[in-house]
Chain A
């Protein structure tokens, strides 16, 4: 299993500013995932972050808007840049563990409100 600490847990931000979300894992992992969960909706993968390489972004998400850092095997950050109210969402950090298949573990999420 994996224990994930994510912070901040929530924030209220002014439009046009940026917020950096931190994700710390209690063990070394190869891949870390960043998701967005908009109100009443399912999870949408933003990007996959591997240590030592650039993050891989999903369709509809770009590095300029959501820059990601992955400096080591236990830590990653996601920045939401130049925020607008449409960015209001829950942002989730996730890692995979388990010998067979993909078993995901999640942080508690960051609830972001942009005003």
Chain B
């Protein structure tokens, strides 16, 4: 079945450091891929997405490229800020068929220190 494997946290970085959070997936068909972010005390919100191979999703300085050959969707940011401290979730959905559930990674907690 479909699954998402996400880099374990917590990740602690200094401000302006480079961030990578790894995400790989297993899926049949052609899934869409997502990164969601959960800031402290808030609900989840979509950070970025990619719906087909080689698409790059980007938002708020974060980027992730849909790599079909490596079944990956790693999240990157060149220079993190304290305000990026949050939990990040990788997720996929299968566009085809009747299964429209989202499959979630376990989440990676990021703490950015000033």
A interface list, Cβ under 8 A from B: 6, 31, 33, 41-43, 45, 48, 92, 96, 100-109
B16-24, B44-52, B74-82 - interface stretch: B44-52
Closest to B101 in A: A45
A42 to B106, CA, bound (A): 5
Offer 6 A-B interface pairs, CB within 8 angstroms, sorted by A. Answer: A41-B106, A43-B89, A102-B100, A103-B49, A106-B44, A107-B43
Asked if A31 and B100 make an inter-chain contact with CB atoms under 8 angstroms apart, the answer reads yes
A6 to B44, CA, bound (A): 13
> Please, which residues of chain A bring their CB within 8 A of the CB of B68?
none
Closest to A108 in B: B43
A104 to B89, CA, bound (A): 12
Residues of B within 8 A of A (CB-CB), count = 22
Q: How far is the CB of A51 from chain B (nearest CB, A)?
A: 16
B interface list, Cβ under 8 A from A: 31-32, 34, 36, 42-46, 49, 51, 89, 91, 93, 95, 100-102, 104-107
- From B46, B89, B105, B107, A105 is in contact (CB under 8 Å) with B46
A100 to B36, CA, bound (A): 17
Residue among B44, B49, B51, B100 with the highest chain A CB neighbour number at 10 A: B44
**CB contacts between A and B, total, < 8 Å:** 51
Main secondary structure of the interface of A (DSSP, over half): strand
Instruction: Say yes or no: A43-B46 contact (C-beta < 8 A), given A100-B32, A101-B95.
Output: no
Asked if B45 and A96 make an inter-chain contact with CB atoms under 8 angstroms apart, the answer reads no
Closest to B94 in A: A102
- From B45, B51, B107, A101 is in contact (CB under 8 Å) with B51
Instruction: Say yes or no: A109-B46 contact (C-beta < 8 A), given A101-B93, A104-B102.
Output: no
